[in-house]
Amino acid sequence: MSKYKIPIRVNPLFWIFATLIGWLNHSFLGAGVLVGTLIWVAIIFLSILVHEMGHALTAIAFGKHPRIDFIALGGLTSYQGDKLKLWQQFIITFNGPLFGIFLFVFATLILQLHFLQNPLLIRSFQILQFVNLFWSIVNLLPVLPLDGGQLLRIIFEGIWGVKGIRYALFVGMIIAGLISLYFFLTKFFIVGALFFLFAFQAFDSWRRSKNLTSYDQDETVKNLSMKAEAALRQNKKQEAKHLFEEVVAKAKSGIVNITASQYLAFLYYDEQNVEKAYQLLLPHKDNLTPEALCLLHRLAYIHKNYELVAELSTECYQAAPTQEVAIKNAKAFAHLKKGKFAGGWLQTAFHFGNLSLEKILNEEVFQSISEDQDFQSFINKLK
């Protein structure tokens, strides 16, 4: 493939949303529904293509092989390979809106020359002019995932390192929230909802980014992690295990370490290596996915860490509301001599049915709290 060739893929959802926007706004052209809608679709496609070409052509200038994807509500330019310097990332990002401004200037010049006579063509160029000016300005707002938010992230990362990513997410979240509130108050509900979505996404990313470290920006580690996940998807478990072990060895902390540790724990557990799985998950108990948290809950019970089982009891049951989890919780609290909680979880387990109360109460762990009044009050309800 020529290094100057840019693959372009169009998701069918793009055509659906572009057609919907065109249909809703065709009256601005003073044309029929079909013609007006088609012109709008062409304007949207051209505007996004030029914008993404700004990113893609600049990426090529820096030696990358970009790809453009048209997605539901816009476009996305991506490229593989080693991470570029921050100033290069800045230029690639900025050139998207800049090319949009170029298209605005082009449409303006065409209109200023007054050689267009067809009213429909004139209105089409006016819309092309407006769309590119408006979207270029909006896209430069310092809100992720807009280009302005990416520019802010690059600037902050240059000043504060990896912490700058969190700062950019926080600033973007506040600005998106304020913009959303303004549009809701002025009854532009669709725009308000869009920026509310941006604010929520920024908040979620900011919350999850507390564990972000420089290892998460290491391209070697990221590529290893992607290879490991690809191997796992292909059910090449041994290959995936070795790759995840390499990721954990190279990345001592960060989200990439937490993610790899969870994958690795499940692979070890499948091999019945419960000790390794337990030791991998234990340091990350506050940052696990629901599935990994339930695995840690099970491993903690095997290792007789009843304090941890009790700590994870509610969260694990919410993720996996099963009789097995409820019984483990009941037994853990019984070991801790907390009759009230042991009785409560035992009552929950009985709601699933197929349990013998007599057999359960004869187990040594429940015999040890049989005189506990709180425990007895729950047992009496089960009789």
Name the residue range of residue 232's domain. Answer: 213-284
Each residue of 197-256: pLDDT tens digit?
A: 999 989 988 887 777 788 887 778 888 898 999 999 999 999 999 999 999 999 888 889
Q: Which residue has 């004139």 as its token pair?
A: 122
Is 135 in the same domain as 157? Answer: no
- Give the whole-angstrom CA distance, residue 337 versus residue 142: 54
Domain match, 97 and 113 both: yes
The yes-or-no verdict on residue 1 having pLDDT over 70 is no
Q: Do residues 244 and 123 both lie within one domain?
A: no
List pLDDT tens digits, range 305-357: 999 999 999 999 999 999 999 999 999 999 999 999 998 998 898 888 887 87
Does 367 lie in the same domain as 319?
yes
Whether 50 and 37 map to the same domain: the answer is: yes
pLDDT 10s digits, 252-285: 888 899 999 999 999 999 999 999 999 999 999 9
Whether residue 181 sits in one domain with residue 81 = no
In a domain, 63, yes or no: yes
Does 83 share its domain with 166? no
Characterise 84 by phi-psi region: left (phi > 0), alpha (psi -120 to 50), beta (else): beta
| Mean pLDDT over each residue of the chain, to the nearest integer | 89
For Cα atoms 104, 105, 108, give the angle at the middle one, nearest 5 degrees. 85
> Looking at 28-42, 50-64, 177-191, 302-316, which range is the least confident one?
28-42
Question: Of all helices (H) and strands (E), which one includes residue 245?
Answer: helix 237-250
Q: What is the pLDDT of residues 64-92, one digit of tens each?
A: 889 998 988 788 898 876 778 889 999 99
- In this predicted structure, the answer to whether residue 107 has a pLDDT above a threshold of 50 is yes
Tokens of 275: 């000790």
- 194, 188, 256, 252: which is closest to 228 by C-alpha? 256
Q: Please indicate, yes or no, whether residues 232 and 117 belong to a single structural domain of this protein.
A: no
